[in-house]
Amino acid sequence: MFAVETSGLKKSFDKTEAVRGVDLRINKGDLFGLIGPDGAGKTTLMRLITGVMTPDSGSIRIFDTDALRHKAEAGMMLGYMPQRFSLYEELTVEENLEFFASLRSVEKDSFNRQKNYLLKFTNLEPFTKRLAGKLSGGMKQKLGLACTLIHQPQLLILDEPTTGVDPVSRREFWQILDSFLHQGMTILLSTPYMDEADRCTTIAFMNNGVLPVVDTPQHMKTLIQGTMLEVVLKEPLRAKQVLSRSDIYRHVHILGDRIHIYVDKPDSGYIADIKQILNNEAIAVDQTGFTAPMLEDVFVSIIEKERA
Amino acid sequence: MTQPPVQAVNLRRMFGDFVAVDNITLSVEKGEVFGFLGPNGAGKTTTVKMLCGLLMPSSGSAQVAGFDIATQPDDVKSSIGYMSQKFSLYSDLTVSENIDFFGNIYGLDNSRLKLRKEEIIKLTGLDGKEHVITSTLSVGWKQRLALGCSVIHEPRILFLDEPTAGVDPDSRRMFWDLIYSLAQKGMTMFVTTHYMDEAENCTRLGFIYNGKMVASGTPLEIKRTRMTGTIIEIDTDAPSDALKLIKPMESMDEVSFFGRLIHAVTTAPAGTADRTIKNIGQLLQQNGITVNRINTIPPSLEDIFISLIKQEDRQGGHQ
């Protein structure tokens, strides 16, 4: 049994085909990351899975329940936090939880237990009586998560949950997610941040409404056959322009004080060659070395391939 | 030596008793892409407002584009450009009309506007899209247009507030290439952000916390010198049990899940990591937990900044 299983899922808006036949399987207990360029169809796919939106065709099963036929039942098994989750700013933390519990018809005993547990887990206990509007961005995000989980769903669906959250709050948010994961929850989330994708057990890369690559982050990185040559220098842009003229070093990416050059193997001959090219243009090199491709490099290379 | 485009000495700003910016000294050289980082509430926005001539300092001084922020704020304002994520383009105007609009705001005469428009269209790669309605552009193109509009008056310094927050990696790389090309032409970039992927793109960084500058340097220098302790990554069959065992070990700073893995940050110096790894391995083995892999990993910028924040909190705990 899968936590989520879709087949032939399609959804169009006017002339745009947002989701064009998605077959997706998410194992129970997975932390499943959805990545891809803006406009790839990630949000639409999540809305279809959560039942907020109805597909034009295809099927969806949530823990083996037909989500299109038994919408309410499937809905109870999942919690969905959209990109702009609306809390009631004029209600307190506790009142917000009560409100979302009443929407989900959570019984009083169960509500109290789950409320106390979630408040503790999200470190919101000291702020129970505070108005949601008076919380910091990171705290609002945690309250949103708590409201999403008030009916104890086994599947949590999050659309770019950490956009706009600072690094300290982001780290805390992820620690909370990881703890839920270790209690057996299944999590599906979309993210523009590759370091977050790296934490997932499985990643699906979405582009133009389909999922051309679904894999573990570790294995996805091996999709790039070569390696990255890192050069630390003072004039990265000029170096990129000079190197891009050669046939071998076409893929040059600037990262502040250094550049990454894609090469087919970690051959020190490349270093000597590049130093020579840059030296001819009077570009001083501080340091060189090889580094493994990052998930971001894979992301860009998939898009380049699809464009070609 | 010419004066750096941005130079602040002991800049301080109080709001009542609250010290928002506490004696910040910084200077940014011409053509640098300077990243000004810090969590929410650290004092980033207050500092930038002062540097833009929008807010008076309580004490200290700063020169921006050679003008004093306290005595010549209007000269400062006309020498800088500003672009944020919330930059408002007029979505029902065409690309060309948006550029005209911002050109008029900055008081460019017709002949200069015509020239600058051509330059900006070329710079941003918007050739052929001049008569496209802005709302129909993709996010990536809108951002390039917004950047173009914010430099229409050829400012010496461009302030960018989280310019690529939430943007996918492909569009982000294209946008940063544009920033680098402006920097290469001599424009100074002052980027405010709390996103570490943006920080990685800067040539030099300053990290502010509790109103104070707690670290500065190139991304590489900061990675090399500012991380105390070591991060150990552990892949086991029973992460929940393993976490409980590792947490109380000696010299552990923070132990947390990282997806299915465990990240243990030790306070021990880098050289002693091998011994710690051995100890963790033995402890887990004694408790019947299979260790698939255990090794140190290089810290990310985010790891370093969180470690700096913790150090500051420990030192300034009484505040």
Q: What are phi and psi of A96, to 5 degrees?
A: -60, -45
Is B42 in the same domain as B175?
yes
How far apart, in whole angstroms, are the C-alpha atoms of residue B128 and residue B28? Answer: 36
Indicate whether B24 belongs to any domain: yes
How far apart, in whole angstroms, are the C-alpha atoms of residue B31 and residue B235? Answer: 44
B135 and B91 in contact (C-beta within 8 Å)?
yes
Which residue of chain B has the CA closest to A240?
A: B177
Q: How many C-beta atoms surround the C-beta of residue B128 within 10 A?
A: 9
A232 contacts B220? CB cut-off 8 A: yes
Is B187 in the same domain as B145?
yes
How far apart, in whole angstroms, are the C-alpha atoms of residue A271 and residue B55? Answer: 49
Per-residue pLDDT at B271: 73
Q: Is the pLDDT of residue A74 over 50?
A: yes
B224, B249, B284: which is the final residue of a domain? B224
How far apart, in whole angstroms, are the C-alpha atoms of residue A307 and residue A56? Answer: 27
Residue B295 near chain A (CB below 8 Å): no
B204 contacts A257? CB cut-off 8 A: yes
Per-residue pLDDT at B250: 86
Which residue of chain B has the CA closest to A32?
A: B259
Sign of CA dihedral A19, A141, A85, A68: positive
> How many domains does one find in chain B?
2
N-terminal to C-terminal alpha carbon distance within chain A: 38
Candidates A62, A63, A38; CA nearest to A191 is A38
Q: What is the mean pLDDT of residues B175-194?
A: 93
Candidates B263, B230, B185; CA nearest to A237 is B185
The secondary element (H helix, E strand) that includes residue A143 is helix A137-148
A300 contacts B220? CB cut-off 8 A: no
How far apart, in whole angstroms, are the C-alpha atoms of residue B105 and residue B97? Answer: 12
Is B66 in the same domain as B209?
yes
Q: Is the pLDDT of residue B258 over 60?
A: yes
Question: Which residues on chain A are in Cβ contact (under 8 Å) with B202?
Answer: 256
- 3-state DSSP assignment of residue A218: helix
Q: How many C-beta atoms surround the C-beta of residue B56 within 10 A?
A: 11
B129, amino acid identity: K
Indicate whether B319 belongs to any domain: no
Which residue of chain A has the CA closest to B240?
A: A182
Lowest mean pLDDT among A116-130, B160-174, B195-209: B160-174
B139 contacts A38? CB cut-off 8 A: yes
Q: Is the pLDDT of residue A51 over 90?
A: yes
Indicate whether B169 belongs to any domain: yes
Q: Which tokens go with A76? A: 């109870």
B175, B206, B224: which is the final residue of a domain? B224
Is B158 in the same domain as B219?
yes
A201 contacts B260? CB cut-off 8 A: yes
The answer for residues whose C-beta is within 8 angstroms of residue B318's C-beta and 6 or more apart is none
Half-sphere exposure of B298 (CA within 13 A, CB side): 9
Indicate whether B315 belongs to any domain: no
Q: What is the mean pLDDT of residues B9-26?
A: 96
B196, B224, B252: which is the final residue of a domain? B224
Per-residue pLDDT at A41: 95
Q: Is the pLDDT of residue B31 over 60?
A: yes
Q: All domains of chain A, ordered by start, with CATH?
A: 2-215 (3.40.50.300), 227-292 (3.30.70.2250)
Is B205 in the same domain as B252?
no
Is B140 in the same domain as B18?
yes
Identify the residue with better confidence: B100 or B86: B100
Is B255 in the same domain as B280?
yes
Pairing of strands A78-81, A155-159: parallel
Is B213 in the same domain as B239?
no
Residue B219 near chain A (CB below 8 Å): yes
Is B191 in the same domain as B236?
no
For testing contact with chain B, the best of A34, A166, A198, A242 (most B CBs within 10 A): A166
The answer for residues whose C-beta is within 8 angstroms of residue B248's C-beta and 6 or more apart is none
Confidence of residue B293 (pLDDT cuts 50, 70, 90): very high
Per-residue pLDDT at B270: 66
Tens of pLDDT, residue by residue over A78-112, are 999 998 888 999 999 999 999 999 999 999 999 99
Closest CA–CA distance from residue B228 to any residue of chain A (Å): 17
Tens of pLDDT, residue by residue over B52-74, are 999 999 999 999 999 999 999 99
The answer for residues whose C-beta is within 8 angstroms of residue B41's C-beta and 6 or more apart is A136
Question: Which residues on chain A are in Cβ contact (under 8 Å) with B260?
Answer: 31, 181, 201
Half-sphere exposure of B114 (CA within 13 A, CB side): 2
Q: What CATH number is associated with residue B126?
A: 3.40.50.300
Question: Which residues on chain A are in Cβ contact (under 8 Å) with B309?
Answer: 168
Q: Is the pLDDT of residue B1 over 70?
A: no
Residue B292 near chain A (CB below 8 Å): no
Per-residue pLDDT at A250: 78
Closest CA–CA distance from residue B99 to any residue of chain A (Å): 25
ipTM: 0.82
B257 contacts A175? CB cut-off 8 A: yes
For testing contact with chain B, the best of A255, A259, A291 (most B CBs within 10 A): A255
Confidence of residue B319 (pLDDT cuts 50, 70, 90): very low
Residue B242 near chain A (CB below 8 Å): no
Q: What is the mean pLDDT of residues A235-260?
A: 88
For chain A, what percent of residues have pLDDT higher than 90? Answer: 69
B243 and B211 in contact (C-beta within 8 Å)?
no
For chain A, what percent of residues have pLDDT higher than 70? Answer: 100
Boundaries of domain holding B251: 228-298
Is B265 in the same domain as B191?
no
Indicate whether B313 belongs to any domain: no
Confidence of residue B87 (pLDDT cuts 50, 70, 90): low
Tens of pLDDT, residue by residue over A192-206, are 999 899 999 999 999
How far apart, in whole angstroms, are the C-alpha atoms of residue A264 and residue B166? Answer: 31
How far apart, in whole angstroms, are the C-alpha atoms of residue B244 and residue A165? Answer: 28
Tens of pLDDT, residue by residue over B186-217, are 999 999 998 888 898 999 999 999 999 999 99
For chain B, what percent of residues have pLDDT higher than 90? Answer: 65
For chain B, what percent of residues have pLDDT higher than 70? Answer: 97
Residue B313 near chain A (CB below 8 Å): no
A181 contacts B200? CB cut-off 8 A: no
Is B104 in the same domain as B191?
yes
How far apart, in whole angstroms, are the C-alpha atoms of residue A232 and residue A250? Answer: 18
Candidates A123, A133, A52; CA nearest to A95 is A133
Lowest mean pLDDT among A171-175, A180-184, B130-134, B161-165: B161-165
Indicate whether B314 belongs to any domain: no
Q: How many CB pairs under 8 A join A and B?
A: 111
Is B207 in the same domain as B257?
no
Q: What CATH number is associated with residue B255?
A: 3.30.70.100
For testing contact with chain A, the best of B172, B176, B195 (most A CBs within 10 A): B195
Q: What angle do CA B139, A13, A73 make, to 5 degrees?
A: 105
Closest CA–CA distance from residue A200 to any residue of chain B (Å): 6
Indicate whether B30 belongs to any domain: yes
Q: Is the pLDDT of residue A259 over 70?
A: yes
